[in-house]
Amino acid sequence: MPTPLTRNAKLTIAQLQAAMDEFVGSRGWYGPDSEKPQEPRNLAASISLEANEVLEWFQWSNRVEPDEVGGELADVVLYCVQLANVLGLDLGDALSRKLELNNSRFPEVEDQQWQRRLAS
């Protein structure tokens, strides 16, 4: 049985995929009669629904509740991870390839307007 994740755990994409697979499997959602069938269509719909919950935070104002928005973003990412699992994709590899493609498609510019706010 895998070690339970702690709040401060920093996971690689591969570890996140494995943890999500374990989570889904331990709830029986891979079963043929599951109430939450892990089909690509269902997972893609869930990604869209959760992304709209992110957008809802900004519907009428720019106020941000970082923990709440973070929870919604996490839902989007977890559904993406699970869709990658169901499709047999290495999400880390897909992300690296896409970032490399974007790097070649979009030239660098010096833009001081937006400051990065990376979590440490």
Residue 61 to residue 64: CA distance in whole angstroms: 9
Q: For residue 113, is pLDDT > 80?
A: no
The whole-number average pLDDT for the span 110-119 is 68
> DSSP class of residue 38?
-
Q: For residue 34, is pLDDT > 80?
A: yes
* Full-model pTM: 0.85
When pLDDT is cut at 50, 70 and 90, the band that residue 110 belongs to is confident
pLDDT at position 119 is 66
Average per-residue pLDDT for the chain? 91
Domains of the chain, first to last: 13-30+37-97 (1.10.287.1080)
66-95 pLDDT, tens digit each: 999 999 999 999 999 999 999 999 999 999
Residues 6+ apart with CB under 8 A from 83: 40, 43, 44, 47
Q: Which amino acid is at 58?
A: F
